[in-house]
Homo-oligomer: A and B are copies of this chain.
Amino acid sequence: METVLVIEDDSTMLRGLKDNFEYAGYHVITAVDGEAGLNAALDTKADLIILDIMLPKINGYEICRLIRKEKLDMPIIMLTAKGEESDIVLGLNLGADDYVTKPFSIKELLARVVAFLRRRKQGEKDTYEFADFVFDISARRLLKKGEEIKLSPKEFNLLEFFLKKQGKALTRDEILNVVWGYNTFSGHRSVDRFVTTLRNKIEPEPHNPAFIHTLREVGYKFDPML
């Protein structure tokens, strides 16, 4: 059974999280302050950590940093107070994998945890790096030098597909089938249009692409020269 460590000082919240995760079939360990949380993280082998930022004794950022310093690579999902963009970036830089802003729905948090552990178990990546970009699937976010670049859903899915198929030629049909779905009625040129918008967002020189290369008569190929 997979183990989730929840570090949270608000006892009502903690109880809610514990109940829900146990109901969903996880083994839950809890800690109510930073010190206990850090010890639990280092001692037990949790598969995933849910970490509040505001904590007595040692704050969440510090815990995050210390865990990573010990070369432990379990996923960490941070709980942050509402929309402080800078806090989020700080947390991610310290090694967190994802964040959820309070107030949040338990259902959403649970969904992220499940998705995370599934990918982890199947050895799928949840982040891809190229040039100075970090593409984070679970957080559905693209960062360039730590700064977020907003992508529409299609743009995100398209880039995700490109990253998963790095170095391979992809036909417009393959792209349509995967990104748009097998029963789409969209035409081939829709792919081109989204490639253009993606290029405008990620290519330093959209006219001389470094990442998304055109293959005439075929389609496209994502190939960041590393």
Residues on A facing B (Cβ under 8 Å): 13, 16, 83-86, 88, 101-108, 122-125, 130, 138-140, 152-153, 164, 166-169, 215-218, 221, 223-226
Contacts and interface: CB of A to CB of B under 8 A. Distances in A.
A139 B167 contact: yes
Contacts of A138: 168-169
Contact of A123 (B103, B123, B168, B223): B103
Contacts of A103: 123-125
Copies in the complex: 2
B226 A83 contact: yes
A215 B88 CA distance: 21
A62 to B, nearest CB: 23
A215 B224 CA distance: 27
A226 B139 contact: no
B84 A104 contact: no
Nearest to A16: B123
A15 to B, nearest CB: 12
A88 B167 contact: yes
A94 to B, nearest CB: 17
Nearest to A163: B83
Given A106-B123, A123-B106, A152-B216, A226 B85 contact: yes
Given A84-B226, A85-B226, A140-B215, 6 more contacts: A85-B167, A88-B167, A102-B123, A104-B123, A138-B169, A139-B169
A138 to B, nearest CB: 5
Nearest to A120: B103
Given A103-B125, A122-B106, A140 B83 contact: no
A153 B105 CA distance: 23
A169 B153 contact: no
Contact of A122 (B107, B139, B218, B221): B107
A140 B218 contact: yes
A169 B152 contact: no
26 contacts: A16-B123, A83-B166, A83-B167, A83-B224, A83-B226, A84-B226, A85-B167, A85-B225, A88-B167, A102-B123, A103-B124, A103-B125, A104-B124, A105-B123, A106-B122, A138-B168, A139-B167, A139-B169, A139-B221, A139-B223, A140-B169, A140-B215, A140-B218, A153-B216, A153-B217, A153-B218
